[in-house]
Structure formats: C-alpha cells, structure tokens
A and B are shown apart, each in its own frame.
Chain A
C-alpha cells in the first residue's frame, strides 16, 4: 500500500522535475530568496540591484532573440523601444499620476502599433538593410525623446518617483518581486512560443523565405508577429527599468545600448534561453558585479566594452552558435574523457582482453 503511494509520489516528482518550466521556476524562487537575503543585509544592495538590472536586460534580450535567433531579422531599434517604455510609465504613472492599469494599456497599445509599423517596414526591406533602417527608426525615437519635452522632459532626463496601483503607492519591495515574476513569466512565454507552431514557422522563415512561403507560412503575419513580440518585450522591460532605476535620459537609448543587447544575444547563443541568460551575464553582469570592483575599470568604465566587443567578434567567427554551444561541447568532451579514463583503468586493473 505504502509502496505504491511512494511510487506515485516519485513518479509525480520526477515528472515535475523533468518539466521544462521547473528549472526556471526554481530560478525565480532562488531569486526571491536572494532578494530576502538582500533585505536582511546578507547580500549587498548594490549586488541585488545589478541582479535585477540583469533580469530586465534578459527580458529585452529574450525579445530580441525571437527576432534574431528565430525570425532571422537583424534589428537595431531595441534601445528606442525600451526608452519608449520608460517614458510611458514615467509620463503616465509618474507625471500624470494615472493608475498603473492605464499606463500598461497605453504602453502595450503603443508597443503593438510600433512593432506592427516596423514589421511592415521589414516586409519591404531585408537582411542588412533592415538593421540600418531600424537604426534610423531608433534615432527618430531618440530625437523625439530629446525634443518632445512635454512627454519626456527633454535632455535633462525624467525622474520617476512613486506610482499608484489599486489606489495605493507601490513600495520598492513590490517592484523587485514584480521584476522576478515578470522575468519568470517572460521566460515561460518564450519557451512556449519557441516550441509552438509559431516558433517553428519563425525558424522556417529564417532559413528560407521562399521555402517557408511555399509551405504555407505567411511572411506578413509572422514578421509582424515577431516584431510585435520583440517590441512588447522591450516596452515591458522599459516599464520595469523605470520602476527599478527611476531615471531615464535620452542619451541612454543610443546605438551602444542596442549593440550591447545584440552582443548579449549573439555571445550567449541566439537560439537558447539558457544561452541568452549566459550572454546577458557575460555582457552586463560581469561588468556590474565583478569588473566594477577592479580599480582599472572604475577609472575607465568604457574599457569593459572591449571585452564585449572581443567576445562578439570571437564568438561570431569561431562559435556561431554562441557560448552555450561551447559549454555543451566542453561537456561532451569531459564525458568522453571520463569514459576513456575508465576504460584505461579497467585495462590496467584487469588486464587486456585476448
């Protein structure tokens, strides 16, 4: 009786553990625990701040990977979209003190419209030219951020204080928890998209437009969808960025930011969620957690870009699949090595077969 019960429990447990969401939910729980530690003073607040920034960058990078890794569309408009998100929440929730629901609606609406426009552009312009045109769009957005002072407070930057949700001001702790929640949800959503027919359609489109079309995949629908998804991710990340860092200035949303996101996606591995998290850590996390404690990098903060740049160049030249491929290859090598060693040990212990 008890035996069968244990068997069932074990079966359920193994099913839960093997579920694709399990690792990421565990990651979310771990992050919540780390946040609790930060509250208690066991983890320094600056370290936790950089962890939450990393989560926000990961959300942007996940959106971008749907574009680059799956749909094969190189876009440099990311910075503009994220900036737009920060100004949406800064203006509607901060300056106008509207409830958060309205901000969210406006932001999502804006993201969908903008993504659809860029997607429409991407129907006409392909490959290398698309990167340039989206760069132009991003510059337009940056100019708008600079000039449209009623909305963005111009070049001096927009400061964001507290904001209202359900009629109450939102504490910082809630923002931190919301970032973790959205991070895990976005990963799960991405996982679902990747493994759904939509994800396969995007992949087909990446490999060959014409072949995808002849298999009945509408370019218009899926390109628009890819851009809308990337833009929505970016705008959500923008909302979280503003709620977390509380300051946004047009200078942040320049080409460097888009290039860094691109670097994170390319370096980590554009088609794997773990790879993207790894890439975000390599490009942003190393800088924020480790390198900033070295005096040389504190004196020249831009020197950390050298590392990202060299990583991009090396990874694109030698490991087009990203660092995650390198890790997988290493794992395989180690397994082979262990097997080989064991064989040798046996030979030594028991002698060779005749």
Chain B
C-alpha cells in the first residue's frame, strides 16, 4: 500500500516535470501557480523516491550505509561551505578550493612525518597539531590569493574571475610536486576502532570513531561559523558585502578585510575537509580532492548559491543519493548521482533554495 502510494507520487512528479520542461517553459511568462506546483511537487517527488529506495534496501541497511558514509558527508559539507562563503563575498565560484585544501593536507602529512622523527609526541596531539597546520596553511593561501589577485580584479566579470581561479588550480598543481615531492603521502586516522549502537534486539549499528570525530568537528565548525555570521561584526560585514559591495564600502564596512578574511576562512574549512578526507582510503596526491570539489560544486548548484543552508541540504541529498545508489549498483554510482543532480537542476536552475535576483538589461 505504502509503496503504491509512493510510486503514484513519483510518477506525478515525473509527468509534471516532463510537461514542464517540454511545454510550459516555452511560454513567455510563467504563471505563479506553475511555480508553486513545481515547488510542492519537487520535494514530494524526491522524498517519495527516497522512500521507495529505502524500503527496497531495508531501513537497517540504509542507516548502516549512511553511518559509514557520514565522514564523506561532513567533508562535503565543509568544502561546500567554503565555496559558498567565497561566492557570497567575491561573486565567483572558486575552482581552486579543492587544490588550496590539498596544499593544506600535504603540509599536515609532512608535519606528521617531521614530528614522528624529531619528537616523542603521542598519536593524538600529533594529529591534532597536523590538522591545525592544515587549516592554517589553507587559511594563509586563501588570504594570499585574495590580497594579491582578487583585490586587483574586482571589476572583472564573474566568468573572468572564475577563470582566474582555474589558473590558480594549474599554478598550485604545478607547485605541489616541487614543494612536497612526487610521492603520495598518507594521513592516519585518529583511531581505527568503532562504536556499536544497539537500536533493538537484532539491530546493532557500527560507527567508526573517525566518522564520529569528523561529525563533531564539522558540526562545531559550522555552529561557530553560523553564530559568527549572525552575531559578530565580521558576519554583518559579510552579509552587507554579499548584498552590495559598493554600498557596504560607502557605509564604512571594510570590504577588503571582510573579503580577505572570508577567503582565509573558506580556505581553512577546505584544509580541515582535506585533512579529514585523506584517511578515508585515499592517499594525499595532487588531485585527491577533485571528486570532493566536483561534488561540492554540484551540491552548491543543487542547493542554490544564494543561501548558506541550501548548499548543505544539497550536500546531504548528494550523499544520500550516493549511498543509496551504491547499494543498488556500485559501478555506476557517480553516474547515477550526477544524472539525478542534473535533472533536479534542470527543474530548478537557481537551486532548490535559490532566489531569483532581478536583472537589469
């Protein structure tokens, strides 16, 4: 019964979506009821599809896979937040976010090697120091990029700024082997144990410690960021700069400092993300963050760049799609996820939570 209802809901959405793409959009002006209809049908369709998939794979398995993937989700959220922060202040999509973060991870890995050789620190303080080093390196690179490059290219078009970040990717990709050597490095997890969670008599879920730690770090960083955005002078400045940079500057907001700090903080978020992502079965290489980078871009587009919360929901959705489709077909997982995101973005080009800004001709 439940399943039939869900299928009906999904098919409603699919039919409407097809009609919308092929027919409704041809009209010069869309009536408001169509806008509302797709706004209602979209979440219902997504939720119903997720419901069917979860029922198919059983709730227990879903929860278990979700808990195992939670570290990747947190990494994705951290990277996405960095990208959105830069978009807010500099109005560009930062293609170099992943690469800046990779430099941080390399520094951390080198620092761990140095500390093991020269000091008698135990594992936990050593790794904590390395994480701070990763964040700090990326913070400094972010500051450097803004003060040296972006401060001088304020009046370029947004696509031009995007191209500068692409050039930055190439520069960093070339510099990293020179500084850190050609060999891939590794970063250890804080602990390779895990916790058992007893839900009912038969259901015991397993969570690795690394995932718990990642979740704690992510949630605390996000909380601090959102509180800072809401209550500090810097946060007010970011919001003012995001709404209109020139006017904010006229009103006495130090937009230079605000933008530089935003780049730095976005870099630090990326650095922490890269540090937490490296022990998840990959090695630190020049391009190990590329998949995270692509996913976080898609998450930002899916959620809509205009809000901070939207991209986080986008990251959550992408991670859910990935964990569900990896259960059904592990080879084509990323293809399925990308295709789903593309379809959703076709339905809502400004993102699920995006707002339309008026455009002057």
The residues in A between 107 and 126 inclusive whose CB is less than 8 angstroms from any CB of B are: 121, 124-126
Query: Does B166 contact A262, Cβ atoms closer than 8 Å?
Result: yes
Tell me the complex Cα distance, A266–B92, Å. Answer: 17
Query: Does B164 contact A317, Cβ atoms closer than 8 Å?
Result: yes
Which among B163, B345, B361 is the interface contact of A312 at CB below 8 angstroms? B163
Question: Is A210 positioned at the interface, with any CB of B under 8 Å from its CB?
Answer: yes
**B162-177 near A? 1/0 per residue, CB < 8 Å:** 1110111111111111
Question: Is B341 positioned at the interface, with any CB of A under 8 Å from its CB?
Answer: yes
Question: Is B71 positioned at the interface, with any CB of A under 8 Å from its CB?
Answer: no
Question: Is A310 positioned at the interface, with any CB of B under 8 Å from its CB?
Answer: yes
Q: A254-B290, A259-B170, A316-B167 are in contact. Are A124 and B349 (CB under 8 A)?
A: yes
Across the interface, which residues of B come within 8 angstroms of A135, CB to CB?
294, 297
Query: Does B342 contact A136, Cβ atoms closer than 8 Å?
Result: yes
Query: Does B339 contact A139, Cβ atoms closer than 8 Å?
Result: no
Query: Does B173 contact A300, Cβ atoms closer than 8 Å?
Result: no
Q: What is the interface of chain B, defined by CB distance below 8 A to chain A? A: 92-93, 149, 152-153, 156, 158-160, 162-164, 166-178, 182, 286-287, 290, 294, 297-298, 300-301, 331-332, 334-335, 338-339, 341-342, 345-346, 349, 361
Tell me the complex Cα distance, A132–B98, Å. Answer: 14
Which among A128, A263, A304 is the interface contact of B162 at CB below 8 angstroms? A128
Q: How far is the CB of B144 from chain A (nearest CB, A)?
A: 13
Tell me the complex Cα distance, A302–B179, Å. Answer: 12
Query: Does B162 contact A74, Cβ atoms closer than 8 Å?
Result: yes
Q: Mind listing 20 A-B residue pairs with CB under 8 Å?
A: A124-B346, A124-B349, A125-B345, A128-B93, A128-B158, A128-B159, A132-B93, A133-B342, A137-B342, A140-B334, A140-B339, A256-B173, A259-B170, A302-B174, A303-B174, A307-B174, A311-B167, A312-B166, A312-B167, A316-B164
Query: Does A211 contact B171, Cβ atoms closer than 8 Å?
Result: no
Q: A259-B166, A259-B170 are in contact. Are A317 and B338 (CB under 8 A)?
A: no
Across the interface, which residues of A come within 8 angstroms of B349, CB to CB?
124-126, 129
Q: How far is the CB of A281 from chain B (nearest CB, A)?
A: 17
Query: Does B178 contact A303, Cβ atoms closer than 8 Å?
Result: yes
Tell me the complex Cα distance, A280–B149, Å. Answer: 24
Q: How far is the CB of B284 from chain A (nearest CB, A)?
A: 15
Across the interface, which residues of B come within 8 angstroms of A210, CB to CB?
361
Query: Does B158 contact A308, Cβ atoms closer than 8 Å?
Result: no
Q: What are the nearest 8 A-B pairs in CB distance?
A: A312-B167, A309-B170, A309-B171, A305-B174, A306-B174, A313-B167, A305-B170, A309-B167
Q: How far is the CB of B57 from chain A (nearest CB, A)?
A: 21
7 further A-B pairs in the complex, CB-CB below 8 A; given A139-B338, A305-B174, A310-B167: A132-B93, A132-B297, A143-B332, A259-B169, A302-B173, A309-B172, A317-B164
Q: A147-B335, A262-B163, A309-B167 are in contact. Are A136 and B177 (CB under 8 A)?
A: no
Across the interface, which residues of B come within 8 angstroms of A303, CB to CB?
174-175, 177-178
Question: Is A255 positioned at the interface, with any CB of B under 8 Å from its CB?
Answer: yes
Tell me the complex Cα distance, A74–B160, Å. Answer: 10
Tell me the complex Cα distance, A320–B163, Å. Answer: 11
Query: Does A316 contact B158, Cβ atoms closer than 8 Å?
Result: no
Across the interface, which residues of A come within 8 angstroms of B346, CB to CB?
121, 124-125
Question: Is A131 positioned at the interface, with any CB of B under 8 Å from its CB?
Answer: yes
Tell me the complex Cα distance, A216–B46, Å. Answer: 39
Tell me the complex Cα distance, A307–B287, Å. Answer: 19
Question: Is A181 positioned at the interface, with any CB of B under 8 Å from its CB?
Answer: no
Question: Is A127 positioned at the interface, with any CB of B under 8 Å from its CB?
Answer: yes
Question: Is A144 positioned at the interface, with any CB of B under 8 Å from its CB?
Answer: yes
Which among B156, B178, B298 is the interface contact of A317 at CB below 8 angstroms? B156
Q: Give the residue name and chain of the A residue nearest to B156 (CB).
A: A316
Tell me the complex Cα distance, A260–B335, Å. Answer: 24
Across the interface, which residues of A come within 8 angstroms of B177, CB to CB?
300, 302-303
Across the interface, which residues of A come within 8 angstroms of B361, CB to CB?
208, 210-211
Query: Does A304 contact B93, Cβ atoms closer than 8 Å?
Result: no
Q: Give the residue name and chain of the A residue nearest to B330 (CB).
A: A147
Across the interface, which residues of B come within 8 angstroms of A300, CB to CB?
174, 177-178, 182
Across the interface, which residues of A come within 8 angstroms of B287, CB to CB?
254, 256
Query: Does B162 contact A313, Cβ atoms closer than 8 Å?
Result: no
Query: Does B169 contact A309, Cβ atoms closer than 8 Å?
Result: yes
Tell me the complex Cα distance, A127–B350, Å. Answer: 11
Query: Does B163 contact A136, Cβ atoms closer than 8 Å?
Result: no
Query: Does B149 contact A313, Cβ atoms closer than 8 Å?
Result: yes
Q: A121-B346, A259-B166, A317-B153 are in contact. Are A140 and B174 (CB under 8 A)?
A: no
Tell me the complex Cα distance, A65–B313, Å. Answer: 36
Tell me the complex Cα distance, A228–B208, Å. Answer: 48
Q: Give the residue name and chain of the A residue nearest to B152 (CB).
A: A317
Across the interface, which residues of B come within 8 angstroms of A211, CB to CB?
361
Query: Does B171 contact A140, Cβ atoms closer than 8 Å?
Result: no
Q: Which of A74, A129, A307, A308 counts the most B-chain CB atoms under 10 A from its CB?
A: A129
Q: How far is the CB of A212 from chain B (nearest CB, A)?
A: 11
Query: Does A308 contact B170, Cβ atoms closer than 8 Å?
Result: yes
Tell me the complex Cα distance, A310–B148, Å. Answer: 13
Tell me the complex Cα distance, A95–B301, Å. Answer: 39
Q: A143-B334, A303-B178 are in contact. Are A127 and B158 (CB under 8 A)?
A: yes
Q: How far is the CB of A312 from chain B (nearest CB, A)?
A: 3
Across the interface, which residues of B come within 8 angstroms of A147, CB to CB?
331-332, 335
Query: Does B169 contact A317, Cβ atoms closer than 8 Å?
Result: no
Across the interface, which residues of A come within 8 angstroms of B345, CB to CB?
124-125, 129, 133
Query: Does A263 contact B153, Cβ atoms closer than 8 Å?
Result: no
Query: Does A255 contact B290, Cβ atoms closer than 8 Å?
Result: yes
Q: How far is the CB of A289 from chain B (nearest CB, A)?
A: 18
Across the interface, which residues of B come within 8 angstroms of A124, CB to CB?
345-346, 349
Query: Does A144 contact B171, Cβ atoms closer than 8 Å?
Result: no
Query: Does B153 contact A305, Cβ atoms closer than 8 Å?
Result: no
Tell me the complex Cα distance, A137–B332, Å. Answer: 14
Q: How far is the CB of A262 from chain B (nearest CB, A)?
A: 6
Which among B176, B286, B338 is the interface contact of A136 at CB below 8 angstroms? B338
Tell me the complex Cα distance, A193–B332, Å. Answer: 39
Tell me the complex Cα distance, A121–B163, Å. Answer: 21
Q: Give the residue name and chain of the B residue nearest to A142 (CB).
A: B334
Q: Give the residue name and chain of the A residue nearest to B153 (CB).
A: A317
Across the interface, which residues of B come within 8 angstroms of A304, CB to CB?
174
Which among A132, A302, A317 is the interface contact of B286 at CB below 8 angstroms? A302
Q: Give the residue name and chain of the B residue nearest to A259 (CB).
A: B166
Query: Does A139 contact B286, Cβ atoms closer than 8 Å?
Result: no
Q: Give the residue name and chain of the B residue nearest to A117 (CB).
A: B342
Across the interface, which residues of A come within 8 angstroms of B156, CB to CB?
316-317, 320
Q: A74-B162, A121-B346, A129-B301 are in contact. Are A317 and B170 (CB under 8 A)?
A: no
